[in-house]
Structure 1
Amino acid sequence: MRVVIVTESFPPDVNGVAHCALQTARHLAVRGHDPLVIAPAVAGADSPDNDAPCPVVRVPSLPLPGYPQVRVALPSRRVAAAITAHRADLVHLASPFILGVRGMAAASKLGLPAVAVYQTDLAGYARTYVGAGEGAAWRRIRAVHSAADRTLAPSTAALRDLEGHGVDRVRLWPRGVDTARFRPELRDEELRRSLAPNGELIVGYVGRLAPEKQVELLSGVCGMPGVRVVVVGDGPSESSLRGALPGAVFLGRRTGDELARIFASLDVFAHTGPFETFCQTVQEAMASGVPVVAPAAGGPLDLVDHGRTGLLVKPEDVNAVTTAVATLVADPGLRASYGNAGRAAVEGRTWAVIGDLLIDHYAEVLGARTAVAA
């Protein structure tokens, strides 16, 4: 199967869209298929795709105003030309909004089936960043996803949201987790001593530092005796968060095996953002055997079994976050129980399993197109 993945982001970018697109391309190649990736150009990287599992076509891009880590693709004829040259059987649109719209238009013009993967709560972002624009965001989402043969939602909350806004042909496709990389055995006492030299329990957040993530909700945790807050990630909110979270350790962006070691060395993982369509870091914490605190909204509703693998709390409520973390801090037995249950819950969610489910979706879409043609 020849598949073109049109993605709004791709490594070396560090975010959920980029990671999922990479894992998709990697799995397709492993299974003997022929993927090609089309993605925005990366600033300041001479050879960003040396480690990519397949060819990558980069189109011109500009940094998003106020958030330079995010690149926005510019109009380019390379999209349609690359799809044509690859002789694609199917076009995969990863979180389509700018580049993905062009990918959808090219697929339609060429008569190719398209699978659109919904991954980013753009309407929520519009509300957070500009205080308006939700309606416009949903009109654009509805237009591109309704043109696709199938839309894949990462969680039941996202699926219901899409259907509630008039998007048809939606199916569930969750995300995988690297259970070989993220595992409890990587807990590192030397690292823990460097982060919490007085033997404090470590409560960690991993993710982008941006307004929609609401990391400032950890301010109450920073005031808890015997607790050290550790923040992993970068983004436009870093400066303000350093003031809002006194005593917290900011490690910046970490990836790969180093990130896995940090995850496993936490005592509690706390996620604060209420706009997650999935929330990959929750899965990575669970795979690392770490109990989770997360908002009862969006993707975490599917991931966290409240009272068994972690605690779900009222979204956007600093007291709820603080109380939940305090409950786990006070009870080492509960932390161990939740951590063990979390690891067990994700052991069957490898990227290989999830990748095969995606290939099944492709096959069904291609089969439906063949049946209509016949």
Structure 2
Amino acid sequence: MDSLHVLTYDIRGHVPETGQERRARNTGIVTHTHQILAGLARNHPRLRLAVCHTGTEELTRYQLRTPERFTALTHGIPTRFPGLLTGSDGRKDPQAVHRYYEAGIDDPDNPVWNALARSYATALRAAGVPMVLAQGLNPLVSALKAADQGLLRDLCPAIVGVVHDTAGMQQRLRWVAERVHSQQDPVRLVAVSPAIRDDLLATGLPRDMVRLVPNGIDAHQFRRRLHRAVDSGAWERVCARNRLPGQGPMVLLSARRTPWKGHDDLIRAAQLLDVARPRERWFVAINGAGMCERTAPDFERYLRTRIDSLGVQHRVFLLDELEADEVAACYAHAGIAAHPSRQAEPFGYSNIEAMLAGVPVVASAHGGPLAYIEHNRSGVLVPPFDPPTLAEQLARLLDDDRLRAQLAASGRASARRFTTAAMTAGYEAALADAQAAAQHLEALT
């Protein structure tokens, strides 16, 4: 493999022309993108890389030096669509998002999909890279629609679409499945967890067109990050700014602040715990400031109101926006990690990071966590939407140092199975499959 065009949500790096650092939110897809790039950098150091990321006001083009030492032709793809998806206040309308992205997937006059197709076509043609890795359904659909509309001209890229999530995307998933099943395009799909693979196969896709490639993480690099965070005094900075209690175990929720991640259930569980054991020292810290979805822009305000209304201001702390070393410091000082997602997690990088840090994890018993958490062995699984059971399990762990240590040790061993080496090999195989399909189509035509 000598070249690759990555279509992703966001990316970190350095812009040589301006000298500025490009920062990105610490989401699962961003983490995943950089883990893949790190693996490819080891195996293909001369790889020619191009990148698209979303969220700009207009189509932009610049050179980016990534942390993995790739210099990539990079395009920013406009995705805000004022007047269609967002109002004058810049907030996205959830109903409009659903109408254009999901319900209108088959409409040939859909202005959102047509604009995305044009933007991605411009970027794909400019890069001229015949191998594409699309991180998510939206860039995958955009590239396929660009091909439908004849916007890619003679460029017929082999495409691997990575499916990170399927919740609320049934129409998009069906549209992609029909295209892949018809073999009109050299496309292969990657599922990041068994749960996502099952959703893809439920559409009727043949198994040979869907490859399971679990997410991976560089455990050695992560441990180094933890040590640097501890040595830098990052935890002391987090405590001082957020006025965290000086004593007692911390229950950490590290996730985007969006309703389906289960913040409300953890806050309610904290209230139940506080009533049951008011004199004990423990507290809940919630990370993710600045990572709200545009479809739920008032969620942070809601969380503050919820904490106040339940009278748990002394127990539950919404952390301010953290630097990368401060996030690592939170893992290093957590007693328990809680991730009670209401929707099934596609994978759950924050769970894996907590487990690698030696923190026992309590997670909802559906989706990605089922692949790496065995209940009462490598973690604890609870039903979603169930604050009383969550509170009961947190209390059990707070009371039992030995159990926490056992779960932490088994959890770390489980998390270590998800390596960047295995993940990179899986993506290389998927890209080779797509390339073979492209060559077969070319031979037929």
Normalising by the residue count of structure 1, what TM-score does the alignment of the two structures yield? 0.84
What are the superposed Cα offsets for residues 187-230 of structure 1, whole Å, 9 maximum, x if unpaired? 68857976653522100100111112121111244232422000
1:30-179 alignment to 2 at 5 Å?
A: 30=42, 31-32=44-45, 33-42=47-56, 49=64, 51=66, 53=70, 54-62=72-80, 65=86, 66=91, 74-75=115-116, 77-97=118-138, 99-106=139-146, 110-123=155-168, 135-143=170-178, 146=181, 149-168=187-206, 169-179=209-219
Deviation at 1:289, TM superposition (A): 0.7
- How does 1:203-218 map onto structure 2 within 5 Å? 203-218=251-266
8 Å Cα contact 1:192-1:265 kept in structure 2: no
Which of 296, 300, 305 does residue 243 from structure 1 map onto? Answer: 305
The 3-state SS of whatever aligns with 2:80 is strand
Aligned-residue offset at 1:41:
4.2
| One-letter identity of the residue aligned with 1:219 | I
1:344 Cα deviation from its structure 2 partner? 2.0
Looking at structure 1, the residues matched to 426 and 335 of structure 2 have their Cα atoms a distance apart, in angstroms, of 33
The answer to whether the Cα contact below 8 Å between 1:202 and 1:228 also exists between their aligned partners in 2 is yes
- Asked if structure 2 preserves the Cα contact closer than 8 Å seen for 1:154 and 1:173, the reply is yes
Distance verdict in 2 for CA 1:43–1:328, change over 3 Å: farther
Task: Work out whether residues 25 and 36 of structure 1, in 8 Å CA contact, stay in contact via their aligned partners in 2.
Answer: no
Match of 2:18 in 1: none
2:327 is matched with 259
In the other structure, the counterpart of 1:232 is 287
Per the alignment, residue 126 of structure 1 pairs with none
**Counterparts of 1:47 and 1:366, CA distance in 2:** 27
Q: What code does the residue aligned with 1:23 have?
A: Q
Tell me the C-alpha RMSD between the 2 structures. Answer: 3.2
Preserved CA contact (<8 Å) 2:193 2:214: yes
Spell out the pairing of 1:316-327 with structure 2 (5 A cutoff): 316-327=385-396
AA paired with 2:259?
A: P
Q: Is the 8 A contact 1:93 1:104 kept in 2?
A: no
* Separation (CA, whole Å) in 1 of partners of 2:126 and 2:217: 33
Task: Please state how far the C-alpha of 1:75 moved relative to its aligned partner.
Answer: 3.3
Task: Name the SS of the counterpart of 2:375 in structure 1.
Answer: coil
Q: 1:87 to 1:141 in 2, by over 3 A?
A: closer
Task: Give 1:219's aligned residue.
Answer: 267
Deviation at 1:120, TM superposition (A): 2.1
* Greater mean alpha carbon deviation, residues 279-288 or residues 216-225: 216-225
Point out the more displaced range, 138-147 or 14-23: 138-147
> How far is 1:144 from its partner?
5.9
Offset at 1:19? 2.6
Q: Which amino acid aligns with 1:84?
A: R
Q: 1:309 to 1:135 in 2, by over 3 A?
A: closer
Task: Tell me by how many angstroms 1:372 deviates.
Answer: 5.9
What is the alpha-carbon distance in structure 2 between the residues aligned to residue 292 and residue 62 of structure 1? 36
Partner of 2:19: none
Query: What SS does the aligned partner of 1:35 have?
Result: strand
* Alignment-derived partner of residue 7 in structure 1: 8
Question: 11, 16, 20: which is aligned to 2:32?
Answer: 20
Measure the CA separation in 1 of the matches of 2:394 and 2:156: 52
Following the alignment from structure 2 to structure 1, what is the Cα–Cα distance between the partners of residues 201 and 418? 25
Judged with a 3 Å threshold, the aligned counterparts in structure 2 of structure 1 residues 298 and 351 are, in CA distance, closer, same or farther, namely: same
Alignment partner of 2:361 out of 292, 297, 305: 292
Mapped contact 1:42–1:48 kept (Cα < 8 A): no
Offset at residue 18 of structure 1 (A): 2.6
Identify which range, 187-196 or 251-260, moves more after superposition.
187-196
Alpha carbons of 1:368 and 1:51: their partners in 2 closer, same or farther (altered >3 Å)?
A: closer
Contact 2:118–2:146 (CA<8 Å) still a contact in 1? no
Asked if the contact 2:9–2:54 (Cα under 8 Å) also holds between the matched residues in 1, the reply is yes
Per mean C-alpha deviation after superposition, the further-off stretch among 144-153 and 324-333 is 144-153
1:321 Cα deviation after fit: 1.4
Worse overlay, 356-365 or 205-214: 356-365
Task: Return 5+ residue gaps in structure 2 as ranges.
Answer: 13-23, 98-111
Q: Deviations over 1:231-271 (max 9, x none)?
A: 00032311111232322111133342221111121000000
What displacement does 1:76 show?
A: 6.0
> 1:179 is matched by which residue type in structure 2?
A
Opposite residue 163 of structure 2, the aligned amino acid is Y
Distance in structure 2 (CA, Å) of the matches to 1:227 and 1:144:
52
Q: Secondary structure at the match of 2:132?
A: strand
- Change in Cα spacing, 1:145 to 1:299, as seen in structure 2 (3 Å) is farther
% identical aligned pairs: 26
User: Could you tell me how far 1:107 is from its partner in structure 2?
Assistant: 5.5
In the alignment, residue 16 of structure 1 is paired with which amino acid?
A: G
More deviation, 157-166/284-293: 157-166
Partner of 1:131: none
Which of 320, 326, 344 is residue 275 of structure 1 equivalent to? 344
Q: Provide the TM-score with structure 2 as the length reference.
A: 0.72
Residue of structure 2 equivalent to 1:353: 422
Correspondences of 1:334-345 after superposition (within 5 Å): 334-345=403-414
